[in-house]
Amino acid sequence: MADTDNNPTPVKPGDILCRLEEMTEAESRVFLLQFDDGEEVEFFIVRRGGAVHAYLNNCPHEDRWLQWEGDSFLTPEGGTILCQAHGATFDIESGQPLTGPALYSGCLTRVPIEIAAGEVRLAPR
Ligand code: FES
């Protein structure tokens, strides 16, 4: 994958990612999922309406991170997820490619999360 200047927050399965009320509409945040066996993988969450969606930080077009830096996973107007490498866009709610070179490469890979009592939590493994 491409090298970026990310600074993701490390989390483990079952951890609380944030309170739902802390996220504004069409805000995205990146995390580093760390498993007990040492495996690590980046993912991000994005809020759309009352829901939060989570996907691996991996573009199906060329197996790259989606963003250049930080928490910037969305188009400027916030309507879709954007891969900064070649400009592919993805639907926030389904992860399906909408435009660009990822159209025939498949969807973003969803990461299981749970929302309960106003908390957004990574699902236990
Ligand atoms: S790597 Fe994402 S559009 Fe090419």
Q: Are the C-beta atoms of 74 and 93 separated by less than 8 Å?
A: no
pTM of the entire predicted model: 0.92
SS3 label, residue 21: helix
Domain ranges of the chain: 9-122
Predicted confidence (pLDDT) per residue in 16-70, tens digit: 999 999 999 889 999 999 988 999 999 999 999 889 999 999 999 999 999 988 8
What distance in Å separates the CA atoms of residue 32 and residue 11, rounded to the nearest whole number?
A: 6
CATH code that applies to domain 9-122 = 2.102.10.10
Phi, psi (deg, nearest 5) at residue 86: -135, 10
Q: Is the Cβ atom of 29 under 6 angstroms away from ligand 1?
A: no
Of ligand 1's atoms, which has the minimum distance to the CA of residue 102? Answer: 3
On the question of pLDDT at 6 being above 70, the answer is no
CA–CA dist 3, 68 (Å, integer):
8
- Please tell me if the CB atom of residue 64 comes closer than 6 angstroms to any atom of ligand 1: yes
